[in-house]
């Protein structure tokens, strides 16, 4: 008797530069695939150069395929809210523009309920001194980023931005969520 594989789920997250977000979620137990891309803008299949102008309306995002039997959406969002600053509108560190906004792009009503609940809990806990500005919206107009953006940190760990910005975020994840790091 063969067992059928457990169903997977997809969520799309914007936490600033997708190199950072991808590098963290690549290391999360239960995350089966991470893809850098662009979503929730007006232009069809934009290029990175177009995204950088800030005129397409897209956010830099990662599309996560995960196994809910191994990790819940709530746990993924808890990680998400620790590894980026959800209180800065259209900005993460020195990266400024609408493409760097904080966003949770949902594919179901159930995902919206979880996202809204986690944000309410963060707000109630006063974890941050400023309000959470993370947008929660239905996923729209997603496209995969260029091949050279995929696995960027893995392929360029000593590149300046990776060493000084991405690396510390990965380390923070590994320390804060040690039990969630892939073996």
Name the residues annotated as catalytic.
17
CB count in 10 Å sphere of residue 159: 13
CB 153 within 8 A of CB 166: yes
Strand order in the sheet with 31-39: 135-138, 102-106, 9-15, 59-66, 31-39, 143-144
The CA distance from 145 to 127, in Å, is 32
């Amino acid at each position: 008797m063969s067992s059928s594989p457990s169903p997977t789920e997809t969520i799309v997250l914007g936490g600033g530069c997708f190199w950072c977000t991808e590098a963290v979620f690549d290391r999360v137990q239960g995350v089966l695939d991470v893809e850098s891309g662009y979503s929730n803008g007006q232009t069809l299949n934009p290029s990175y150069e177009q995204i950088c102008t800030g005129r397409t309306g897209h956010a830099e995002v990662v599309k996560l395929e995960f196994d809910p039997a191994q990790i819940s959406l709530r746990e993924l969002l808890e990680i998400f809210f620790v590894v980026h600053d959800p209180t800065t509108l259209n900005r993460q560190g020195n990266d400024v523009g609408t493409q760097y906004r904080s966003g949770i792009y949902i594919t179901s009503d159930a995902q919206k309920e979880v996202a809204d609940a986690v944000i309410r809990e963060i707000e109630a806990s006063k974890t941050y001194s400023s309000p959470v500005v993370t947008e929660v919206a239905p996923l729209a107009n997603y496209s995969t980023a260029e091949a050279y953006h995929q696995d960027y940190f893995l392929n360029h760990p000593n590149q300046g931005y990776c060493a000084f910005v991405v690396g510390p975020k990965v380390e923070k994840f590994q320390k804060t969520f040690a039990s969630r790091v892939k073996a």
